[in-house]
């Protein structure tokens, strides 16, 4: 089967790489892809915000299956358009993707279906903000309703800060955050874990657990990014907790979405805070995470095409997902200045050595391009060195020693990915 993957980051590189290993995949096409994806898939340009252009591409390519990576094409209704033509597509419809694209929708959905989450208020005016703050106290989290690439969440210690952030979001004066309603949430504390479930509209099955590192700086300091590194190991939470999250969060969500006639097919990425009062959902994403996917794909033993086909078929049958034990880790190398403005086009050296099929280290490209035969930087996040090993320390050692062979001017990366779980700061 020919498979088309929509997207062009590290997540899509890892998905293309895993699909390429499937015995049943004859060709992988990736749109738009990137300089590294080109080594495992044929890359074709496309505008990820333009449904008509993406549908035209599917008409031209005639894949047996289209897999949608990022949130933007989901939010503009690519899946609806392809399903309306009777085509096989992996990902949620625009209505089902509202679990990610509207935080107000997600909170109200969780309340309707008794899925544990932080107390909240949806506010449309400053007056509503004042009422909510008077009820919840000063220590709150203010969130923009819509997609904001990680920029729409402000943790506030004081009511004044919350008022200021709320006003800026309501009137649209916060950089990168669209104006509109907001959610004010109770401030939760505890370790975070990302729980990934594969869903077919009726049933949810566990794909795996991972932990992201969202801040740019070591020790979780500085501004938020798309994710500077992630690791995956079953040991992140107990087996009982994984089962609890599957039943009380993922399956309940799938049941609720089905009851509301917006069945959820695709990956449900549940951001969970392990609070003293039990696990609570911080957010849903309706797609694979980036860089969590790079780490998860290194552990995947099942044929990825089988998993996608199960989700698209929507039979509700049982599915077993086989993952390697041990641990995997992805360390992101980013451009100087990221997550702010960056300069692109710097030459990358040492990067090709790591397309080491079936090996224990793989270099997934997030933002690279080939210019005049040279691999160059083409994004804020550039590369993700990913390794798998029997334990986290070994996986970290392998990822960092492999990353040491790669460089580009201004390359920055966190040296403490996985530090909490491995009990010490790694690589120097
Ligand atoms: P979100 O995009 O909603 O996951 O928020 C981004 C990050 O903000 C999360 O990964 C948490 O670290 C933090 N966060 C979100 N909601 C809360 C909350 N209610 N309490 C404390 N921290 C939060
Ligand atoms: N790594 C977080 C995300 O993909 O949203």
Rounded CA-CA distance 143/150 in Å is 10
**60 CA to middle of ligand 2, Å?**
31
Residue nearest to atom 3 of ligand 2 (CA): 289
In three-state secondary structure terms, 276 is coil
**282 CA to middle of ligand 1, Å?**
6
Residue to probe by mutation, ligand 2, list 208, 224, 226, most atoms within 8 Å of CB = 226
Q: Domains, the chain, ranges and CATH?
A: 2-91 (3.40.50.20), 125-180 (3.30.1490), 192-313 (3.30.470.20), 327-422 (3.90.600.10)
Query: DSSP assignment, residue 247?
Result: I
**85 CA to middle of ligand 2, Å?**
30
In three-state secondary structure terms, 67 is strand
7: closest CA among 70, 99, 100, 84? 70
Residue nearest to atom 9 of ligand 1 (CA): 282
368: closest CA among 405, 402, 332, 404? 332
Q: Are 384 and 332 in contact (CB under 8 A)?
A: yes
Q: Which atom of ligand 1 is nearest to the CA of 282?
A: 16
User: Where are the alpha helices (H) located in 215-323, listed in sequence order?
Assistant: 239-245, 252-259, 292-299, 304-313
Query: Distances from the Cα of 410 to the Cαs of 334, 338, 368, 386, 400, in angstroms?
Result: 8, 10, 15, 20, 17
pLDDT of residue 424: 45
Q: Tens digit of pLDDT per residue, the chain (428 long)?
A: 999 999 999 999 999 999 999 999 999 999 999 999 999 999 999 999 999 999 999 999 999 999 999 999 999 999 999 999 999 999 999 999 999 999 999 999 999 999 999 999 999 998 999 899 999 887 899 998 988 777 788 888 888 888 988 988 888 888 777 878 999 999 999 999 999 999 999 999 999 999 999 999 999 899 888 899 999 999 999 999 999 999 999 999 999 999 999 999 999 999 999 999 999 999 999 999 999 999 999 999 999 999 999 999 999 999 999 999 999 999 999 999 999 999 999 999 988 755 554 578 999 999 999 999 899 999 999 999 999 999 999 999 999 999 999 999 999 999 999 987 765 433 33
pLDDT of residue 284: 97
In three-state secondary structure terms, 405 is coil
pLDDT of residue 47: 97
Query: Distances from the Cα of 24 to the Cαs of 209, 301, 309, 355, in angstroms?
Result: 27, 15, 12, 21
pLDDT of residue 356: 55
Rounded CA-CA distance 117/135 in Å is 17
pTM, two decimal places: 0.94
Rounded CA-CA distance 282/150 in Å is 13
Residues 6+ apart with CB under 8 A from 118: 141, 185, 186, 187, 188, 273, 280, 282
In three-state secondary structure terms, 386 is strand
Rounded CA-CA distance 163/146 in Å is 19
**Ligand number with the minimum distance to the CA of 9:** 2
> Between vectors from CA 219 to CA 213 and to CA 225, what angle results, nearest 5°?
35
Backbone angles phi, psi at 333, to 5 degrees: -105, 120
Report the length, in residues, of the chain. 428
Residue 424 exposure: Cα atoms within 13 Å on the Cβ side? 7
Give the binding-site residues of ligand 2, using a 6 Å CB cut-off. Answer: 212, 227, 285, 289-290, 292
Neighbours of 276 (CB within 10 A): 7
């Amino acid at each position: 089967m020919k498979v088309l993957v929509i997207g062009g980051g590290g997540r899509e590189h890892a998905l293309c790489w895993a699909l390429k290993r499937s015995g049943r995949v004859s060709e992988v096409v990736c749109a738009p892809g990137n300089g590294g994806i080109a080594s495992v898939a044929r890359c074709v340009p496309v505008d990820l915000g333009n449904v008509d252009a993406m549908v035209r591409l599917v008409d031209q390519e005639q894949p047996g299956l289209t897999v949608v990576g990022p949130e933007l094409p989901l939010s503009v209704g690519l899946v609806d358009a392809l399903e309306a033509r009777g085509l096989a597509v992996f990902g949620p419809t625009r209505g089902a993707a509202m679990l990610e694209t509207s935080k107000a929708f997600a909170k109200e959905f969780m309340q309707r279906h008794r899925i544990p989450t932080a107390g909240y208020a949806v506010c449309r005016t400053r007056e509503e903000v004042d009422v909510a703050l008077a009820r919840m106290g000063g220590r709150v989290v203010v969130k923009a309703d819509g997609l904001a690439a990680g920029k729409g969440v402000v943790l506030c210690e004081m009511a004044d800060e919350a008022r200021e952030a709320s006003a800026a979001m309501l009137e649209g004066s916060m950089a990168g955050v669209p104006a509109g309603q907001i959610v004010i949430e109770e401030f939760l504390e505890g370790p975070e874990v990302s729980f990934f479930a594969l869903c077919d509209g009726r049933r949810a099955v566990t794909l795996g657990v991972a932990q992201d590192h969202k801040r740019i700086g070591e020790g979780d300091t500085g501004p938020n990014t798309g994710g500077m590194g992630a690791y995956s190991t079953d040991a992140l939470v107990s087996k009982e907790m994984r089962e609890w999250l599957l039943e009380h969060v993922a399956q309940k969500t799938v049941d609720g979405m089905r009851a509301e006639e917006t069945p959820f097919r695709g990956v449900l990425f549940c951001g969970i805070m392990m609070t003293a009062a039990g696990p609570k959902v911080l957010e849903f994403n309706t797609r694979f995470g980036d860089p969590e996917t790079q780490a998860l794909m290194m552990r995947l033993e099942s044929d990825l095409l089988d998993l996608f086909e199960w989700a698209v078929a929507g039979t509700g049958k049982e599915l077993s997902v086989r993952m390697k034990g041990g641990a995997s880790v992805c360390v992101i190398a980013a451009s100087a200045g990221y997550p702010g403005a960056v300069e692109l086009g710097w030459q990358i050296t040492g990067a090709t050595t790591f397309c080491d099929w079936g090996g224990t280290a793989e270099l997934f490209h997030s933002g690279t391009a080939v210019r005049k035969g040279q691999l160059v930087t083409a994004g804020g996040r550039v590369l993700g060195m990913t390794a798998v090993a029997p334990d986290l320390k070994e996986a970290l050692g392998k990822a960092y020693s492999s990353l040491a062979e790669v460089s580009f001017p201004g390359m920055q990366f966190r040296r403490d990915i996985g530090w909490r779980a491995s009990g010490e700061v790694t690589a120097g």
